[in-house]
Structure 1
Amino acid sequence: MLHLRIIVPTDRSAAVQEMLSADPAVAHLIVLPGAARTPPGDVLLCDVVREGADEVLAALRMLGVDRAGGVVGDGVDVTLSAAADRAARAAPGLGADAVVWDEIAQKTGEETRLSVTYLLLITLATVIAGIGVLLDQPILIVGAMVVGPEFGPLAALSVALLRWRGSIVRRSLLALGIGFLAAMAVTVLSTWALTAAGLVDRSMLLADRPMTDFIWRPDALSWVVGFLAGVAGMLSVTSNRAGSLVGVLISVTTVPAAANVAVALGYGVFDEALGSLVQLLINLCAIVVAGVLTLLVQRLWWERVAAARPAWIRRRRPAPAPRGGPDVPGPPRSVPDRTGGG
């Protein structure tokens, strides 16, 4: 379930309460008149089952709550309530299969910011993978895969491409491009430093590496694995199952390929650098394509499931909020009807 904290202007509070009370996916509605100060208005608290959350959030936007007030959602881990059980039975589908688009957009959009933490994580992961390549140690490669934060921008890019959010597409590509370039540059420098210290040398890269040479030898399976990992990763994001994402990170050769590019460039082994670069591009493209297709299938499937809602619910759409006004800066955004009804 999702717990929603809604701030709504007093003059619209009755309409929002009516909408929430009539939706069978909503439980535990609490009204605190005049409790909000910034922005001023009433505070409404409620719990919504995930399979009905997207419809409720769309209705709140149509009522202008996002512009004149505010909506904050949190996940609910434990619920002991007959009302919540009735809401889960009334809403079509299962919560694990539900796609809450606002939640996904918020979650993945935060991953596109080119923060210092993101740059440090991808750099450290690439340096670790570079050492693992030279030592032919798969345990270091796996560790680097887990540390690498690159799946966040890849997931955001998939969501933005499907919904065509140009600014998010640009931010995602920027985070990926600058992140990998910075990480590879530092890895080249670290390789030179370790070589100068006598800890590694060029012969280690040229030697037989049966455990890690797959990194720079891409083949058809590279695309297959990357595609399957992209599907699994997007499902873990939409279903809010972070545990599954760890396995996805371990299965894709992105950070290790970038590390192999850097190490090979540092030692002037350009054929291996090229092979690693191809491996990196294959995995990145496969993950994004898989992510977009997975989201598209989920959206189409969920539209069919949502069409099974009772007809009186599908007909109940709140009237759009009035345009302009002192508390509504500009026209309301259009909200697509994903219920399948009119």
Structure 2
Amino acid sequence: MLHVRAVCPAEHTAEVVELLREHPGAAHLVLHRGAAVSPEGDLVEADVAREAADEIVDGLCGLGLDRTGGITLEALDTAVSDAADAAEEAAPGEAADAVVWQELLGRTGEESRVNATFLGFLAIACLLAAVGVLTDSPVTVVGAMVVGPEFGPLAAIAVGLVLHRGDLVRRAGLALLVGFPVAMAVTLAGVLAGSAAGIFDPGTIDGNHDVDFVYQVGPASFVVALLAGAAGMLAMTSAKSAALVGVFISVTTVPAAGYVVVAAVAGRWDRAGFSLLQLVVNLAGIVLAAAIVLIVRWRRQRSAPLLRPLSRG
């Protein structure tokens, strides 16, 4: 279940309470008169079945609470209550299949921002990939896949395209366009420093065949990217985040970026070019598959009113 908190002006409190009271997917309704300070108003709380959350949030937005107050959602790990059980049984569908579109917009929007943490993880992932390539270590390359944070912006691009949110697409695109060059520049400095210190020899990549899959791009690369993108978006929309780890170690994005740098330093421009193509193919496949999954899920809920845009803040 999800916990919904709605800050609302006093003149809309009765409508909010009525909406939650009458919805069969809501339980544990609580009203705090005058509890909200900024913005000023009342605080209404309720626990709702995940499969009913999208309809309830849309109804609250229809009352203008996204503009005059505020709506927050919080996942509940456990709800021990007959009322909660009844709400989940009364809500249509299955919780695992329910998409809370406002939650998805908020989550992908947060993960698509360019910040020091995103750049740091991406740079570390590329450095790990480079070390894996130089040492012919598939395990290290897989570790780089797990560390890489690039799926967040890719998912955000897919969400933005499907829900016509140009601001989300631009923000996520900027994260990728800035993040990968910065990470590759840091990796280039690391490879050059390691080579100068005698720690690594970039020329050894000619004999490192255990990591050849990083630059060997082909139809299978696109198929894997499609499957990974579909699985990743299913995981995000169904709140099954554990499946995302499998997505991260399925696609050759960060390893390809790391291989580009190592191959360039070694003067193997053919491999650098194929690695760059591998990167592009995987990025495009993930976004395409993720968008298709969203379109299919959106059409299943096409009877719901169109989502209102979230705040650009």
Structure number with greater Rg is: 1
Output aligned runs, 1:6-25, within 5 Å: 6-25=6-25
What letter corresponds to residue 216 of structure 1 in structure 2?
Answer: Y
Q: What secondary structure does 1:110 align onto?
A: helix
Question: Shift of residue 240 of structure 1?
Answer: 1.2
Consecutive unaligned residues in structure 1, runs of 5 or more? 307-334
Consecutive unaligned residues in structure 2, runs of 5 or more? 309-313
Structure 1 equivalent of residue 175 of structure 2: 175
Question: Shift of residue 39 of structure 1?
Answer: 1.4
Q: Does the CA contact (< 8 Å) of 2:225 and 2:251 recur in 1?
A: yes
C-alpha separation between the residues in 2 aligned to 1:107 and 1:236? 13
Structure 2 equivalent of residue 146 of structure 1: 146
Output aligned runs, 1:18-37, within 5 Å: 18-37=18-37
Question: Shift of residue 337 of structure 1?
Answer: 7.9
What letter corresponds to residue 148 of structure 2 in structure 1?
Answer: G
Q: Does the CA contact (< 8 Å) of 2:202 and 2:265 recur in 1?
A: no
Question: Shift of residue 296 of structure 1?
Answer: 0.7
C-alpha separation between the residues in 2 aligned to 1:302 and 1:68? 27
Q: Does the CA contact (< 8 Å) of 1:145 and 1:250 recur in 2?
A: yes
Structure 2 equivalent of residue 73 of structure 1: 73
* Number of aligned positions between the proteins: 308
For residues 278-304 of structure 1, give each alpha carbon's deviation from its aligned partner in whole angstroms, at most 9, with x where no partner exists: 100010000000000001111112347
For residues 71-129 of structure 1, give each alpha carbon's deviation from its aligned partner in whole angstroms, at most 9, with x where no partner exists: 11100000111111111111111011000000000000011111001101100110110
Question: Shift of residue 134 of structure 1?
Answer: 1.2
Structure 1 equivalent of residue 212 of structure 2: 213
Identity of aligned residues (%): 48
Structure 2 equivalent of residue 287 of structure 1: 286
Instruction: Kindly indicate whether residue 248 of structure 2 is the aligned counterpart of residue 254 of structure 1.
Output: no
Q: Does the CA contact (< 8 Å) of 1:227 and 1:289 recur in 2?
A: yes
Q: Does the CA contact (< 8 Å) of 2:8 and 2:68 recur in 1?
A: yes
Q: Does the CA contact (< 8 Å) of 1:98 and 1:302 recur in 2?
A: no
C-alpha separation between the residues in 2 aligned to 1:88 and 1:175? 38
Q: What secondary structure does 1:32 align onto?
A: strand
Instruction: Kindly indicate whether residue 300 of structure 2 is the aligned counterpart of residue 301 of structure 1.
Output: yes
Instruction: Kindly indicate whether residue 277 of structure 2 is the aligned counterpart of residue 278 of structure 1.
Output: yes
Q: What secondary structure does 1:251 align onto?
A: coil
For residues 43-69 of structure 1, give each alpha carbon's deviation from its aligned partner in whole angstroms, at most 9, with x where no partner exists: 111011110101101110110111111
Output aligned runs, 1:1-342, within 5 Å: 1-207=1-207, 209-303=208-302, 336=306
What letter corresponds to residue 171 of structure 1 in structure 2?
Answer: R
Q: Does the CA contact (< 8 Å) of 1:230 and 1:291 recur in 2?
A: yes
C-alpha separation between the residues in 1 aligned to 2:66 and 2:136? 53
Q: Does the CA contact (< 8 Å) of 1:29 and 1:46 recur in 2?
A: yes
Q: What secondary structure does 2:231 align onto?
A: helix
Q: What TM-score does the superposition give when structure 2 sets the normalisation length?
A: 0.96
Structure 1 equivalent of residue 311 of structure 2: none
Task: Tell me whether 171-180 or 31-40 shows the greater mean CA deviation.
Answer: 31-40
